[in-house]
Amino acid sequence: MGRLLPFTIYHLLFANMNVLVLNCGSSTAKFQLIATDLDQIARDADEHLASGVIERIGGEAIITFSARGSEARRSTAPVRDTRAAVETVIRWVTSADSGIEEVKSVGDIHAVGHRVVHGGERFKQSVLIDEDVLRGIEDCIDLAPLHNPGNIRGIQAAREVFGPGLPQGAVFDTAFHQTLPPHAYLYALPYQWYRRYRVRRYGFHGTSHRYVAYRYRRLRGLAREQTNIITLHLGNGCSAAAIKGGDSLDTSMGMTPLEGLVMGTRSGDIDPAIIDFVGAKEGLSAQEVDLVLNKQSGLLGISGLTNDMRELLDESHESGDRRAGLAVEIFCYRVRKYVGAYLAAAGGADALVFTGGIGENSAEVRKRVCEGLGWMGVELDPAANQATTARREGLISREGSRLAVYVIPTDEELLIARDTVRLIRGVTQRF
């Protein structure tokens, strides 16, 4: 890839920006290309130009690209490393083949925004990346050994490919939850563990919780300080957050994403004594049990079938599979329990907001989570609940329901692109 145009003053002053949003994992790179700027943000008029994913980096990779929401195109090609993945993305978005009019050469990409999983206690907001920030992200590898190294490779790859002049933003999964008070983020463990090893609740999915909280207040015409809600991100990973006055007050994921709700393959909350007990019975090390808790538990572990909620619902309806039904029941029960806990923690709330693949699409899971919540003022509107799927946004509770219920599709990439633009434009106000 040839040398690229430096980021010019022209883009700072006039044109809107095409931001490449990267989410780089250990062997996967997801991307979106989003055209946005302060004016578009104010009008909610940002444009998603393209998206895609490169899987199995390091070998014969599976490449999926889609321009402007059109049918995804899949292909395979050898992709050596993260840098080669970023180059593959740029080659495609700038090619005539992609049909993206706005991006004809690398110079038409004006910034890169990265999803970074762990920002520890240092990163309380999104930041523009420099050497010092990069070192800070490296310092958090200890806390997220599976995630931060991939994110760092993504930052370095983008730097090599675009040159050091192109602004890059880092948006952290943990940052939104940095407003948790000590009584919510500290575990009842020896305090020295927090001091020495930073053992505490950090919480994840922060960009998603923050985005849906923003959409909620746009829908209701509220100020940030008036945002008092419980957000439920239910996807492969699942987490709940209590948001009070616009800030995260508590959240269900902990020092790692393992804690809290039942997830696709993660157990969520368990008695920690189980680790030693089962380890001794099965001859597994603590590390091996940890792997089971992360990869073979949750919906998959209970059902013995799949981690996929849609398949479990189908299976329990069509063949009456008992364990598939049980997995769904335990999943919904745990969510309901957290709703109750967070209403108590926050002193009430105005709304529940469902998001994530399950939260956005499954009217049945939403109904089952809300079952029995009538006493606290939840009255679902069955028709609205049924009709609100496939990335539709809206109210699914009855007029007059004391606790309103919304479905709001998440868009973490959009928030990453917006934060990157706001940082470049020097806008420091909180969102």
Complex with ligand ADP: residue 361 or 385, whichever CB lies closer: 361
Contact 170, 127 (CB under 8 A): yes
Complex with ligand ADP: residue 367 or 398, whichever CB lies closer: 367
Task: Give me the residue whose beta carbon is nearest to ligand ADP.
Answer: 357
In the set 27, 64, 156, 236, which binds ligand ADP (CB under 6 A)?
236
Q: Which stretch binds ligand ADP (CB under 6 A): 221-229, 242-250, 322-330, 354-362?
A: 354-362
Sketch the per residue contact string, 294 through 323, with ligand ADP: x for CB under 6 A, - otherwise. Answer: --------------xxx--x----------
Residue 307 CB, nearest distance to ligand ADP (Å)? Answer: 7
Q: What angle do CA 40, 42, 44 make, to 5 degrees?
A: 60
Complex with ligand ADP: residue 66 or 236, whichever CB lies closer: 236
Of the candidates 348, 354, 298, the residue with the CA atom closest to the CA atom of residue 328: 298
Q: Which stretch binds ligand ADP (CB under 6 A): 214-222, 356-364, 400-408, 413-421?
A: 356-364
Q: Which stretch binds ligand ADP (CB under 6 A): 80-88, 89-97, 268-276, 352-360?
A: 352-360
Provide the token pair at 195. Answer: 């001091």
Complex with ligand ADP: residue 7 or 354, whichever CB lies closer: 354
Residue 206 CB, nearest distance to ligand ADP (Å)? Answer: 14
Provide the token pair at 266. Answer: 């993660």
Question: Contacts with ligand ADP: how many residues (CB under 6 A)?
Answer: 13
CA 391, CA 267: separation in Å to the nearest integer? 27
Complex with ligand ADP: residue 51 or 94, whichever CB lies closer: 51
Contact 198, 143 (CB under 8 A): yes
**How many other C-beta atoms can be found within 10 angstroms of the C-beta atom of residue 24?**
28
Contact 232, 255 (CB under 8 A): no
Residue 359 CB, nearest distance to ligand ADP (Å)? Answer: 8
Complex with ligand ADP: residue 179 or 386, whichever CB lies closer: 386
Question: Under the phi-then-psi rule, with left for phi > 0, alpha for psi from -120 to 50, and beta for the rest, what region is 171?
Answer: beta
Q: Is 424 helix (H, G, I), strand (E, B) or coil?
A: helix
Provide the token pair at 418. Answer: 């917006």
In the set 51, 178, 252, 362, which binds ligand ADP (CB under 6 A)?
362
Complex with ligand ADP: residue 241 or 249, whichever CB lies closer: 241
Contact 404, 230 (CB under 8 A): no
Q: What angle do CA 1, 129, 62 make, to 5 degrees?
A: 45
Distance of CA 207 to the CA centre of its chain: 6
356 binds ligand ADP (CB under 6 A): yes
Contact 167, 114 (CB under 8 A): no
Residues 399-418 that bind ligand ADP (CB under 6 A): none
Q: Which stretch binds ligand ADP (CB under 6 A): 51-59, 89-97, 186-194, 351-359?
A: 351-359
Sketch the per residue contact string, 263 through 282, with ligand ADP: x for CB under 6 A, - otherwise. Answer: -x------------------
How long, in residues, is the chain?
431
Complex with ligand ADP: residue 7 or 331, whichever CB lies closer: 331
In the set 174, 297, 361, 397, which binds ligand ADP (CB under 6 A)?
361
Q: Which stretch binds ligand ADP (CB under 6 A): 48-56, 173-181, 187-195, 355-363?
A: 355-363
Residue 148 CB, nearest distance to ligand ADP (Å)? Answer: 19
Which residues, including other chains, have CB under 8 Å from residue 388's CB and lie 6 or more apart? 363, 394, 396, 407
Question: Under the phi-then-psi rule, with left for phi > 0, alpha for psi from -120 to 50, and beta for the rest, what region is 234?
Answer: beta
Contact 86, 52 (CB under 8 A): no
367 binds ligand ADP (CB under 6 A): no
Residue 310 CB, nearest distance to ligand ADP (Å)? Answer: 4
Provide the token pair at 42. Answer: 């104010």
Q: For 275, what's the count of Cα atoms within 13 Å in the CB-facing half-sphere?
A: 15
Catalytic residue ranges: 173
Complex with ligand ADP: residue 247 or 411, whichever CB lies closer: 411
CA 11, CA 7: separation in Å to the nearest integer? 7
Q: For 370, what's the count of Cα atoms within 13 Å in the CB-facing half-sphere?
A: 30
Contact positions toward ligand ADP, by CB under 6 A? 235-237, 264, 308-310, 313, 356-358, 361-362
